Structure 1
Amino acid sequence: MSFFASPTRPSFGRRRLPFLAAATALTVAAAAAVSTVAVPESLPKASASTFALQGWATQGGGTTGGGSASPVTVTTASALISEMQSSGAKVIRVSGTITLSGMNKVASNKTIIGVGSGAAITGGGLNVASVSNVIIRNINFRNWGDDAINVQYSTRVWVDHNSFSNGYDGAVDIKRASDYVTVSWNKFSNHDKVGLIGHSDDNGGEDIGKLRVTYYANWFDGTTQRHPRVRFGNPVHVVNNYYRGNSGYGVASTCNAGVYVERNYFENVGSTVVTQTGDSPQGNVKLLNNYLVNSGTPASRNASSVAAIPYSYVVDAAESVKSIVTGGAGTGKI
């Protein structure tokens, strides 16, 4: 398999839903103390992950990164920085562990992809700022001193099949009028603040009408909060993710955001979905068929104000999500 291609594997019985079907479905009912699914589904159970791009990063012309550019392999911080800050389309293969300092700019039209299961970036992070068309895949991010990945003033970004652990601030923060972003098949563990969408309650002038993000098939393994925490974005689509033992909360919608929380699996999560956190004003949430195991009741608010999803997408029944996501998320799977 090419390291920079994005092949589509068979969907193993998944259903591709147009936005109208998603918009007319029933919302989830109250949770019980044991395993429960709110509305029985006829979706067949799947057995493997898909490696195709879906979600918001398919919009605005799509996200191809470096495309078919001849790959170059880097093993040092200086080589990585030089390649990812150069002009033109690039496919950059990260081999081994690279230690960065601070936040390092990524230019437009780049694919940064790890080789095998051991490629890692430690110490510093990647700054996807004022650019477009960037893919970051198959990298272990550890011990970052600021953010692991910061996306701001950027469009068409795909963060896929990475593993994140033990960093200082956000694992993946998306802010300042960024748009058309998909965060898919990542594993987050041993970390507090996973993902902001929108950095400030005061930034609505830039962010309203933007910050459209899909969180798909991610594994939040014992992390604390921000899975994601959303301001202003509408709709933000949180679909087919697995939440396990998150001690703060799962999903938060604030600042009049519109978040569609669909067919996720929550296990041992007290606050699964909330519509207010910190000092931020409330946001809006639409729910559909989330699966709850010893978890709290998801909050819903003004579901009709959450905008319709404009793209078709592959979806699994919520009760299948745990096995699918734990088998497919993180590095070494592509």
Structure 2
Amino acid sequence: MGTRGHTSNLTTGTLTTGTSTRGTLTSGLAAAVAAVIALAAPASAAQRADEPPAATPAAETSPVGWAGQGGGTTGGGGTAPTTVSSASALKTALSSGPAAVIRVSGTISCSGMLKVTSNKTVIGNAGATIAGCGFNVAGAANVIIRNLTFRDWDDDGINVQYSTRVWIDHNSFSNGYDGAVDIKRASDYVTVSWNKFSSHDKTMLLGHSDDNGSEDRGHLRVTYHHNWFNGTNQRHPRVRFGNPVHVYNNYYAGIGSYGVASTKEAGVLVEGNYFENTKDPYHRGEGSSPAANLVARNNHFVNSGAGDAGGSVAGIPYSYPLDAASSVKSIVTGGAGAGRISI
């Protein structure tokens, strides 16, 4: 079984690679995630996009992509889990000093942003929901957030700033106020994978402003893979400064405004994604932010625009499994979102 390798530079529309098969995981990771996952096979491609099938594809037990770099992301590791079912207990557990595995049970209603400190795994039991508030991963390292439903947040769903080695995986986001998953202010080594986003406008911001280059240059390296954008409007993601940012094997369904935007010195590789009913799948520049670099490779389009690509992007330094773009719809709808992993 081969792995996908990359040269140190990407040029517009071209990418030199080796061979790849699905199932190869990022090398050099310490497999210490407390919640071990076992999932079934992919569902049929005939399944409707808005009606997830019962069978789901196997999920990673450690992150693929940038969260696997810089020492890897293991969260609370093998620490004995603590279960919380109230806002006060969750707030205390998230902000505690020691490494922790925090299991969330039931629906927790809250407001504002709950601070998440270093070396935490936060994972939802079946049906676990965070209603009304979000998580603030600020000045932290080594954090995992999985299997939670976030809805109706009054600030951001998840905000990551001044933080490294963060894995946001198999969550569902809907109907919040500002960003669903925003990553900014020198954050680095982040993977956002297998999440479902729906009924929302500003989905994912990467880099908060054009004048923050002194903090952000050389950082904001993020992998977005196997996410399901279900009728959301914009920022999937909207990128500043990060290079390379890797957007691969995501399913874009009925996007309102645009899919991916590369702005202000960014370098974004858009690879092997499935765009359906998406007039503007990707472009360079957005609002007052100037155009930056975007390389598009092997994407699949159904009733969608062609996109705008140009410039060059730094090489991807890690190995990763790459699904055929034409299969991404059935794979992602079969596995993305909360409730699609067992713990």
Question: Deviations for 1:172-201, whole angstroms, at most 9, x for unmatched residues?
Answer: 000000000000000000000000000001
Question: Deviations for 1:68-98, whole angstroms, at most 9, x for unmatched residues?
Answer: 0000100000000111111111000000000
The SS at the match of 1:266 is strand
- Alignment match, 1:134: 143
Instruction: Identify if the C-alpha distance between structure 1 residues 22 and 71 changes in structure 2 by more than 3 Å, giving closer, same or farther.
Output: farther
1:19 partnered with 2:6: yes
1:24 Cα offset (Å) = 8.4
TM-score by length of 2: 0.86
- Alignment match, 2:157: 148
How far apart in 1 are the matches of 2:22 and 2:101? 36
1:171 partnered with 2:158: no
The SS at the match of 1:63 is coil
Runs of 4+ in 1 over 4 A off after TM superposition: 21-28, 41-46
The SS at the match of 1:111 is strand
- Alignment match, 1:257: 266
1:19 Cα offset (Å) = 2.3
Percent of matched pairs sharing the same residue? 64
Instruction: Identify if the C-alpha distance between structure 1 residues 134 and 204 changes in structure 2 by more than 3 Å, giving closer, same or farther.
Output: same
- Alignment match, 1:231: 240
How far apart in 2 are the matches of 1:24 and 1:282? 16
1:93 partnered with 2:80: no
1:27 Cα offset (Å) = 4.3
Please tell me whether the aligned partners of residues 156 and 176 of structure 2 are also in contact (alpha carbons under 8 angstroms).
yes
Question: Deviations for 1:189-236, whole angstroms, at most 9, x for unmatched residues?
Answer: 000000000000110110010000000100000000000000000000
Please tell me whether the aligned partners of residues 49 and 324 of structure 1 are also in contact (alpha carbons under 8 angstroms).
no
Structure 1 residue corresponding to 2:231, chosen from 198, 207, 222: 222
- Alignment match, 1:31: none
How far apart in 2 are the matches of 1:21 and 1:241? 24
1:282 partnered with 2:291: yes
Structure 2 residue corresponding to 1:321, chosen from 309, 325, 328: 328
Please tell me whether the aligned partners of residues 43 and 317 of structure 1 are also in contact (alpha carbons under 8 angstroms).
no
Please tell me whether the aligned partners of residues 11 and 311 of structure 2 are also in contact (alpha carbons under 8 angstroms).
no
1:298 Cα offset (Å) = 1.7
Structure 2 residue corresponding to 1:183, chosen from 174, 188, 192: 192
- Alignment match, 1:330: 337
Ranges in structure 1 where 5+ consecutive residues have no aligned partner: 1-12, 29-40
The SS at the match of 1:205 is helix
1:102 partnered with 2:89: no
Letter in 2 for 1:62: G
Instruction: Identify if the C-alpha distance between structure 1 residues 294 and 82 changes in structure 2 by more than 3 Å, giving closer, same or farther.
Output: same
- Alignment match, 2:26: none
Letter in 2 for 1:323: S
Letter in 2 for 1:153: Y
Please tell me whether the aligned partners of residues 12 and 295 of structure 2 are also in contact (alpha carbons under 8 angstroms).
no
Please tell me whether the aligned partners of residues 27 and 289 of structure 1 are also in contact (alpha carbons under 8 angstroms).
no
Please tell me whether the aligned partners of residues 252 and 274 of structure 2 are also in contact (alpha carbons under 8 angstroms).
yes
Question: Deviations for 1:2-41, whole angstroms, at most 9, x for unmatched residues?
Answer: xxxxxxxxxxx9x63122499589649xxxxxxxxxxxx9
Instruction: Identify if the C-alpha distance between structure 1 residues 211 and 134 changes in structure 2 by more than 3 Å, giving closer, same or farther.
Output: same
- Alignment match, 1:111: 121
The SS at the match of 1:313 is coil
Letter in 2 for 1:163: S
1:49 Cα offset (Å) = 4.0
- Alignment match, 2:319: 312
- Alignment match, 1:199: 208
How far apart in 2 are the matches of 1:176 and 1:161? 24
1:284 Cα offset (Å) = 0.5
The SS at the match of 1:315 is coil
How far apart in 2 are the matches of 1:221 and 1:115? 24
Instruction: Identify if the C-alpha distance between structure 1 residues 179 and 42 changes in structure 2 by more than 3 Å, giving closer, same or farther.
Output: closer
Ranges in structure 2 where 5+ consecutive residues have no aligned partner: 24-40, 43-56
Please tell me whether the aligned partners of residues 180 and 211 of structure 1 are also in contact (alpha carbons under 8 angstroms).
yes
TM-score by length of 1: 0.88
